[in-house]
Amino acid sequence: MFRLRRSLESKEGRNIGPVPPWVLEVFAGLRTAGYQAYLVGGCVRDRLLGREPKDWDIATNARPDEVQRLFERTAPTGLKYGTVTVLAPPGVKPPRVEVTTFRRDIGTEDQRHPATVEYGDNIEEDLARRDFTINAMAWNPQEGQIVDPWGGHADLKRRIVRAVGEPRQRFREDALRMLRAVRLAAELGFRLEGRTRAAIRKQAADVDRLSRERVRDELLRILASPDPQWALWELEDLQMLFRILPELRPARNFPQGKPGVPTLLDHLIRTAQYCPPDPVLRLAGLLHDVAKPATVQLTGEGVHFHGHEVKGAEMAAGAARRLRLSRAQVERIESLVRMHMFQAATVTRKGLRRWLGEHGQEWVRQLIALRRADNRASGLPADQPDPWLDRLEDELEEVLHEGAVLRVQDLALRGREVMEILGVPAGPQVGAALRFLHERVLEDPSLNTREKLAALLAEYARGLPGATG
């Protein structure tokens, strides 16, 4: 069995960028054993772009069982498709390297996995089955050799995303590649090559056949990208956006009536763009006014959307559940949409404490950020201050600094003590008394001592029905 060595360095490969020692050790283990080995895919692309790769992948002519015998710590993560994960020693980064045998994919069984897999003999054959040219390059860091049969390096310089070979065939093999093309372009600041783009539009309906989890993952990465606005309009033009989020379809031609914002969809996409790069927050921004077409009312006083935030929260939560977001993410989107119409001028410190207790600090900051994005997407200049939101953010910092009690369970009196003071058993009366105390402490945090709360509780008891004295 090959014992990993610490001495290997890549001198010739430095013209592309450094490779972590652990990755080089796995690479050298394969080469020393007489196998072909190449770094492939996203790590090569990112190194050529001067970016730090998130994952490191190696392609080899070694079969999976040979890879498992060669290295001490492995995991059979994808043996059916020729992939073995080589695990790093504890504390070493990256923690894993994916090693995959050269492959020829034959047909497709579910627009995701090949119907059959045949192992290949050379790297060129393996690269021919990959999705985009910028991902279809291989690199031997010891010799500084790049294998690039599909012109991926040139496409990096042209800043385009182009399918390997015939685009429609690539998308028939896996329809998720259509979403991945948009996501890659948004992440890298690239554009889609013409034939690739035309093929996506022709096959957009195949998105309906993808699992919701896979669509969710790509959509969230699109929303987290530096330019979600471009990506969302690209999805709309390629006829995929409304297949993923049919709730947005009525917004396409619904007039917004705001300067420079012709339609509701313009407003929603801009709001997502102007939110901080948290994909769940940006999804809330994209859906925050989604119920306006369903709630529009024309009266003599003008156009109204009464209750659109309540209906919108319901629709946004439905979309999030359909996309298989977690329960916590669904609740965050639902509550942000429901609350997005808050009036900053009317929010008191007590209200801030209540929000913090119910939702937490991150949620409050995101609600304020959503409101700022909504205002900007409505035509408010980016550099125009909002004194009410500014005041609210200042007061938030002060409330956080004072260390106030924000939750019922943080009161200085517990339920058992309340029962003793009131002389009542466990039940609704105890909960009502604790809520009373919590309301008073939200108004004045200095009241949260056992003595002061006991005095308040005595006052509360005198006001109960049937109380004497």
pTM for this predicted structure: 0.84
Predicted confidence (pLDDT) per residue in 332-349, tens digit: 999 999 999 998 888 988
Q: For the chain, which residues score pLDDT lower than 70?
A: 1-15, 105-116, 300, 302, 304, 403-406, 463-469
**Other beta carbons within 10 Å of 113:** 14
Q: Does domain 1-158 have CATH number 3.10.20.740?
A: no
pLDDT at 222: 98
Q: Which CATH number fits domain 159-244: 3.30.365.10, 3.90.550.10, 1.20.1740.10, 1.10.110.30?
A: 1.10.110.30
Structure tokens at 170: 């690539």
Tokens of 202: 């022709």
How many DSSP H helices and E strands does the chain contain? 22, 15
| CB of 300 closer than 8 Å to CB of 331 | no
pLDDT of residue 34: 94
**449-466 CB burial, b ≥16 within 10 A, e <16:** eeebbbebbeebbeeeee
Helices 415-422 and 428-443, packing angle to 10 deg: 110
Q: Alpha-carbon distance 109 to 102, whole Å?
A: 20
The domain limits of the chain are 1-158, 159-244, 274-394, 408-462
The predicted structure's pLDDT at residue 10 = 39
Q: Letter for the amino acid at 200?
A: I
How far is residue 469's CA from residue 462's CA, in Å, rounded to a whole number?
7
The pLDDT of residue 43 is 95
Q: How much is the pLDDT for 144?
A: 86
> Which residue type, as a one-letter code, is found at position 180?
R
Name the DSSP letter for residue 50.
T
Contact 370, 338 (CB under 8 A): no
DSSP string, 163-216: BSS-HHHHHHH-THHHHHHHHHHHHHT-EE-HHHHHHHHHTGGGGGGS-HHHHH
Q: What angle do CA 354, 359, 363 make, to 5 degrees?
A: 115
pLDDT of residue 405: 61
**What sections of 203-347 are H helices per DSSP?**
212-223, 228-237, 241-244, 264-274, 279-287, 292-295, 308-322, 327-339
Tell me, what's the pLDDT at 455? 79
Give which of 329, 294, 323 is closest to 310, Cα–Cα: 294
CB 286, CB 268: distance < 8 Å: yes
Contacts of residue 244, Cβ cutoff 8 Å, sequence gap at least 6? 207, 215, 219, 235, 323
The pLDDT value given to residue 262 = 92
Which residue type occupies 252? R
CA-to-CA separations, 29 to 22, 33, 56, in angstroms, rounded: 11, 6, 15
Distance CA 343, CA 114 (A): 54
Looking at residue 64, its pLDDT comes to 92
Integer angstrom CA distances of residue 328 from 87, 152, 259, 288, 369: 32, 40, 36, 17, 19
